[in-house]
Copies of this chain bind each other. A is one copy, B any other.
């Protein structure tokens, strides 16, 4: 022995080594690796045994070079960074996507486009074919990156409905309007009649839909819309706090409030406490998301659960379908009311 395996990394076995070990040709090994059609049982068995003995793992670079696929997908975040840091949903989504992809043995490349330069670099990277498709997270819609990728023909699935891209891009979203309806009905069911709302950003479909659900339920209950009970935020804790203050100033008799995100609801609770209102006795508070933020508050936040686990797995499913040639699709998933103490 002139060479030991301590220290340096040994050259891993190739398909050639496996073929020799199994007494077959490269082609047969390759066929076993990719589906195993047109392979005799005995050959397949020999190949699998050889793979186990040699510890062979396919060289994905060599495979990609010829197939043109990279067998990896990008997870692209085009949020301004504050939101990335704050949003407790994000972890859940990222983990869900990673795991759904892992089941297909597909690695996830994390890409964060904060600055303009990063955007360009990432778009170049993606359009060069270094990933097969992109999972896109950017709530600030009308994203130029999304449009560029779509135009380049890159398979793409957005989280939440992107605006301005027509029906040409796939997306997966929770049923925002229905969730909002459930929550407002719940608040009315508690006997509240002066129900306020802190909306999300109204240039996003989610923000618009949740507000629409609120209005629908009030209308169907025969309660008129009072503009003083409607303020808008941007999903951040701070905007929730500010929103609650504006509501209290404009409508001091408010007895419930539907807040379009849990994080904003945290801010609302802070403002209400400061104003001396008890939750839920004086003001019932309903959130949206069922994120970590919802259990971090006291009282615990009654909220609308977004099915992040299903959202992530559906995003992956739709993306992979698109990668293998299927048409774009949209998926809307049902939400669920989660009762805690705040309403």
Contacts from A to B (Cβ < 8 Å):
7-9, 12, 57-62, 64-65, 70, 72, 75, 81, 84-86, 90-92, 94-95, 98-99, 102, 105, 107-112, 114, 118, 121, 124-125, 127-130, 152-154, 237, 266, 270, 273, 292-293, 296, 298
Given A61-B61, A99-B112 in contact, is the A129-B85 Cβ separation under 8 Å? no
Assembled-state Cα–Cα distance A289/B59 (Å): 41
Given A8-B153, A270-B298 in contact, is the A98-B112 Cβ separation under 8 Å? yes
Chain B residues within 8 Å of A9, by CB: 129, 152-154
Known: A7-B153, A99-B112. 10 other contacts (CB 8 A): A9-B152, A57-B128, A58-B128, A59-B65, A59-B128, A60-B130, A65-B65, A84-B95, A85-B91, A266-B296
22 contacting pairs across A/B (C-beta < 8 A): A7-B153, A8-B153, A9-B152, A57-B127, A58-B128, A59-B128, A61-B65, A61-B70, A62-B65, A91-B91, A98-B111, A99-B112, A102-B118, A102-B121, A105-B121, A107-B130, A108-B110, A109-B109, A110-B110, A270-B298, A293-B296, A296-B296
Minimum Cβ distance to chain B for residue A152 (Å): 7
Assembled-state Cα–Cα distance A105/B298 (Å): 44
Minimum Cβ distance to chain B for residue A16 (Å): 14
Minimum Cβ distance to chain B for residue A271 (Å): 11
Minimum Cβ distance to chain B for residue A90 (Å): 7
How many copies of this chain?
2
If over half of A's interface residues share one DSSP class (helix, strand or loop), that class is named, otherwise mixed; here it is: helix
What are the 7 closest A-B residue pairs judged by CB atoms, nearest first? A57-B128, A61-B64, A61-B61, A9-B153, A61-B65, A107-B109, A108-B110
Minimum Cβ distance to chain B for residue A214 (Å): 26
Given A9-B154, A266-B296, A270-B298 in contact, is the A110-B94 Cβ separation under 8 Å? yes
From B85, B95, B98, B109, contact of A292 by CB (8 A)? B85
Minimum Cβ distance to chain B for residue A306 (Å): 14
